[in-house]
């Protein structure tokens, strides 16, 4: 209705206002006509250490809540962005999730291969702007080595390379975060991780280009021509040797000779010499074509085509339930914190029970006593919430850097309305709860405190 017609930004702002408004009304009603500030300020000074600890506890809990929300969203945005460049992935039938992890997030896996006929059919299909085969399995240090075509590198890089594109089999383009310099050579190991066999391939590559930062795991990858991957594994190189003026013997690596003629790299590949690929990244020339291509290449027992974005949203749908569970947990823990805050406030109120008794004896109205206690609590809660908000943002920023480094996915440290809503909601609940000790302060036996 009217609410739904508003832009999300306006809705969020109104929600925030709705959360803050009761606090303002509560404060206005309690403080109307009174001047409790000097007394409250003096009490804060006097009990500053207690107050500081209290603020720190509140800030800690708020920061954790803010951090959780922001981090979860950051991770979602980051993983989705990483899949941006991959419109359609075509693989042999199997697990979409596994193949998405392998192709988009470079989590190596053993997968059945698609043959040259299939590749040729896909590459030659109408509306296919790009069809790049992938080959995984090797590594340099901790960086996975991916074999593919120059077109895919250009597509993923979304910007000019530092250096240049590989134009020969022994050349490599590295991701932005790979610790290899331009001109440096390396020998890939067979396999990935601890089990990698360092000297299985007696082949040297030289780095000729570096991709700009893409925010994807490809930032940590070493990309070489797919012909080279096939070559070092002793397979055909996708091209008819007769047309290439060179042999493709594995292990024979005298690159000086290879340079004589420009090597034929990339498509078109000759199906007869195509050793197979576990995944083909396809880009269609239109959105409608994407859907058409996906259904065309989804064929039982032959090929499986999927949108990584869709697979991700399925994963998010599952994670959404987790998120709901986490939100409940976050809420429960915030409620627990609110409860302990309440207990803390009762204890704090005891600290100045005598002050309150004296004020009462001097004729202070009940609302004034409530105003003093509530204002004192509110200053602590407000300060804790603000510090916690700042702390949460800082923590998000720090965690994003750690997560980005660990996963290779650029996790943006964002700051959204949800955090503000959480903090405002917490403050609202806590400040309403702060009325309880304020009301309790009215019931303290005055005379006993005066004569204590």
Least Å from the CB of residue 450 to other proteins: 7
Give the residue with the Cβ less far from other proteins, 348 or 359: 359
Contact of 347 with 340, CB cutoff 8 Å: no
* Side-chain half-sphere CA neighbours of 311 within 13 A: 24
Tell which one of 112, 193, 365, 416 touches other proteins (CB under 8 A): 365
Of the candidates 160, 170, 161, which has an alpha carbon nearest to the alpha carbon of residue 207? 170
Both structure tokens of 326: 């986490």
366-407 and 417-433 are packed helices; what angle lies between their axes, rounded to 10 degrees?
A: 150
Tell which one of 19, 23, 30, 39 touches other proteins (CB under 8 A): 39
CA 440 to each of CA 343, 370, 382, 433: distance values in angstroms, whole numbers, following the listed order = 12, 9, 21, 11
CA 410 to each of CA 153, 293, 397, 416, 435: distance values in angstroms, whole numbers, following the listed order = 18, 29, 12, 18, 45
Both structure tokens of 407: 């996963």
29 binds other proteins per the rule CB under 8 A: no
Draw the binding track, 317-356, toward other proteins (x: CB under 8 A; -: no contact).
-------------------------------------xx-
Give the residue with the Cβ less far from other proteins, 318 or 362: 362
34 binds other proteins per the rule CB under 8 A: yes
**Host H or E run for residue 227:** helix 226-232
Least Å from the CB of residue 352 to other proteins: 9
Least Å from the CB of residue 25 to other proteins: 20
52 binds other proteins per the rule CB under 8 A: no
CA 16 to each of CA 125, 327, 386: distance values in angstroms, whole numbers, following the listed order = 52, 18, 15
Both structure tokens of 271: 């199906």
Tell which one of 136, 269, 274, 368 touches other proteins (CB under 8 A): 368
Tell which one of 372, 403, 420, 441 touches other proteins (CB under 8 A): 372
Give the residue with the Cβ less far from other proteins, 45 or 406: 45
Contact of 149 with 133, CB cutoff 8 Å: yes
Phi-psi region of 31 (alpha: psi -120 to 50; beta: other; left: phi over 0): alpha
Task: Give the pairing type, strands 189-190 and 222-225.
Answer: unpaired
Q: Is 226 exposed, middle or buried (0-12, 13-18, 19+ CB in 10 A)?
A: buried
165 binds other proteins per the rule CB under 8 A: no
Residues facing 178 on adjacent strands: none
185/170 Cα distance (integer angstroms) = 9
Give the residue with the Cβ less far from other proteins, 124 or 445: 445
Both structure tokens of 59: 């800030």
End-to-end CA distance of the chain: 62
Tell which one of 33, 183, 195, 256 touches other proteins (CB under 8 A): 33
36 binds other proteins per the rule CB under 8 A: yes
Give the residue with the Cβ less far from other proteins, 332 or 448: 448
Tell which one of 29, 46, 53, 142 touches other proteins (CB under 8 A): 46
**Cβ within 8 Å of residue 328, ≥6 positions away:** none
Give the residue with the Cβ less far from other proteins, 222 or 370: 370
Instruction: Pick out residues in 406-445 that bind other proteins (CB under 8 A).
Output: 445
Q: What ranges in 352-365 are assigned the alpha helix state H?
A: 353-361
Give the residue with the Cβ less far from other proteins, 386 or 444: 444
Give the residue with the Cβ less far from other proteins, 36 or 437: 36
Least Å from the CB of residue 45 to other proteins: 6
**Number of residues binding to other proteins, judged by CB under 8 A:** 28
Tell which one of 19, 23, 30, 43 touches other proteins (CB under 8 A): 43
181/161 Cα distance (integer angstroms) = 13
Radius of gyration for the chain, computed over Cα atoms and rounded to the nearest angstrom: 32
Give the range of 30-38, 56-64, 301-309, 399-407 binding other proteins by CB under 8 A: 30-38
Tell which one of 2, 3, 9, 38 touches other proteins (CB under 8 A): 38
Give the residue with the Cβ less far from other proteins, 34 or 417: 34
Least Å from the CB of residue 451 to other proteins: 7
DSSP type of residue 161 = P
Give the range of 14-22, 87-95, 131-139, 366-374 binding other proteins by CB under 8 A: 366-374
Binding region for other proteins (CB under 8 A): 33-36, 38-39, 42-43, 45-46, 354-355, 358-366, 368, 372, 445-447, 450-451
């Amino acid at each position: 209705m009217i609410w739904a017609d508003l832009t999300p930004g306006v809705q969020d702002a109104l929600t925030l206002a709705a959360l803050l408004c009761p606090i303002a009304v509560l404060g206005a009603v309690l403080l109307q006509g009174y001047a409790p500030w000097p007394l409250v300020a003096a009490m804060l000074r006097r009990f500053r250490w207690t107050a500081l600890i209290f603020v720190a506890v509140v800030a800690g809990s708020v920061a954790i809540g803010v951090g959780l929300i922001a981090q979860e969203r950051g991770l979602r945005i980051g993983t989705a962005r990483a899949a941006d460049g991959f419109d359609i992935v075509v693989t042999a039938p199997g697990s979409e999730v596994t193949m998405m992890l392998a192709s988009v997030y470079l989590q190596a896996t053993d997968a059945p291969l698609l043959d040259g006929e299939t590749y040729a059919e896909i590459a030659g299909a109408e509306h296919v702007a790009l069809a790049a085969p992938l080959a995984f399995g090797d590594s340099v240090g901790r960086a996975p080595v991916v074999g593919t075509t120059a077109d895919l590198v250009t597509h993923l890089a979304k910007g000019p390379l530092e250096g240049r594109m590989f134009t020969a089999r022994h050349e490599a383009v590295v991701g932005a975060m790979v610790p290899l310099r331009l001109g440096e050579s390396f020998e890939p190991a067979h396999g990935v991780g601890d089990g990698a066999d360092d000297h299985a391939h007696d082949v040297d590559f030289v780095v000729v280009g570096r991709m700009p930062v893409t925010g994807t795991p490809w930032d940590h990858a070493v990309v070489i021509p797919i012909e080279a991957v096939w070559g070092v594994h002793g397979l055909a190189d996708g091209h008819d040797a007769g047309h290439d003026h060179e042999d493709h013997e594995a292990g024979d690596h005298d690159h000086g000779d290879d340079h004589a003629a420009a090597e034929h790299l990339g498509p078109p590949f000759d199906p007869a010499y195509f050793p197979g690929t576990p995944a083909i990244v396809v880009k269609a020339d239109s959105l409608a074509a994407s859907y058409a291509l996906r259904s065309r290449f989804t064929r039982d027992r032959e090929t499986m085509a999927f949108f990584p974005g869709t697979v991700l949203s399925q994963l998010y749908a599952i994670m959404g339930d987790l998120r709901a569970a986490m939100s409940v947990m976050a809420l429960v823990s915030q409620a627990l914190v609110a409860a302990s805050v309440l207990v803390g406030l009762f204890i704090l109120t005891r600290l100045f029970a005598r002050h309150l008794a004296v004020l009462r004896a001097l004729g202070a109205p009940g609302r004034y006593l409530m105003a003093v206690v509530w204002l004192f609590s509110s200053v602590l809660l407000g300060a804790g919430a603000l510090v916690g908000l700042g702390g949460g943002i800082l923590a998000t920023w720090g965690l994003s850097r750690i997560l980005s480094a660990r996963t290779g996915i650029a996790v943006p440290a964002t700051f959204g309305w949800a955090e503000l809503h959480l903090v405002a909601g917490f403050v609202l609940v806590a400040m309403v709860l702060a009325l309880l000790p304020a009301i309790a302060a009215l019931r303290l036996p005055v005379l006993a405190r005066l004569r204590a």
